[in-house]
Each structure stands twice: as structure tokens, then as C-alpha cells.
């Protein structure tokens, strides 16, 4: 009995610490496109340059030349939206072309 009580106390004290370490999850906050753009646009002028994109918006930087169709040297949120819309349309068109015919 003498040993049982200290063991129960030790277990009771260790349980909260164990619960904190096992339930703590790494959370990844997913930014919306406007939030991501604003964070990357360090000059806050609404114009995202290639350097800014490479530093703060890598997925946009990979497609910067295609997004900057007017070759202005910067892109806007509207440019990104237009690019995404075009890419979605191309994807849907391609998927429709590759579907097996019904029948």
C-alpha cells in the first residue's frame, strides 16, 4: 500500500504533461489569395514584383511570366484571378476531351 499511493500520485502528475505533448498539433494556417498577396507585397502598392513573389508567394512566382501577360514587370490580384480562371477552364476542357464516350 505504501508504494501504491506514490505511484498513483506520480501517474496523476505525469498525465497532464503527457496529454499536452500528445495532443499538441502543428497547425498550418492556409492564407487566402488576397491575404497571401498582401503579405508578399511588401511595398503595399498592389503591384507584386517577381522578387516579391519569389520571396513571399512562391506558387505565383513559378508562373509569374504567364500571369504577367502584359509584361508590365508586376502582377496584380486581378491578374492572378484571370490566370487561375484560364487555368481552370483549360483543365475542364482537357478533362472533357479525355473522358470516355458514354454508351
DSSP 8-state symbol, 57: -
- How is residue 63 written as a grid cell? 508562373
What is the residue-level pLDDT of the chain in tens, covering all 103 positions? 566 555 555 556 655 554 455 555 668 889 999 999 999 999 999 999 999 999 999 999 999 999 999 999 999 999 999 999 999 999 999 888 877 566 5
Cβ partners under 8 Å of residue 49, min gap 6: 73, 74
Indicate the fold that domain 33-98 takes in CATH: Recoverin; domain 1 (1.10.238)
Where along the chain do its domains lie?
Answer: 33-98
pLDDT at 8: 53
- How is residue 86 written as a grid cell? 484560364
pLDDT at 62: 98
Q: How far is it, in rounded angstroms, from Cα 98 to Cα 30?
A: 32
pLDDT at 70: 95
CA distances from 69 to 19, 42, 77 (A): 53, 22, 13
Amino acid at each position: 500500500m505504501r508504494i501504491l499511493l506514490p505511484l498513483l500520485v506520480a501517474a496523476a502528475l505525469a498525465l497532464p504533461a503527457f496529454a499536452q505533448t500528445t495532443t499538441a498539433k502543428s497547425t498550418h494556417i492556409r492564407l487566402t489569395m488576397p491575404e497571401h498577396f498582401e503579405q508578399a507585397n511588401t511595398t503595399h502598392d498592389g503591384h507584386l514584383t517577381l522578387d516579391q513573389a519569389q520571396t513571399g508567394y512562391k506558387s505565383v512566382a513559378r508562373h509569374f511570366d504567364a500571369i504577367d501577360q502584359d509584361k508590365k514587370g508586376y502582377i496584380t490580384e486581378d491578374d492572378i484571378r484571370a490566370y487561375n480562371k484560364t487555368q481552370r477552364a483549360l483543365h475542364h476542357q482537357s478533362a472533357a476531351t479525355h473522358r470516355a464516350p458514354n454508351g
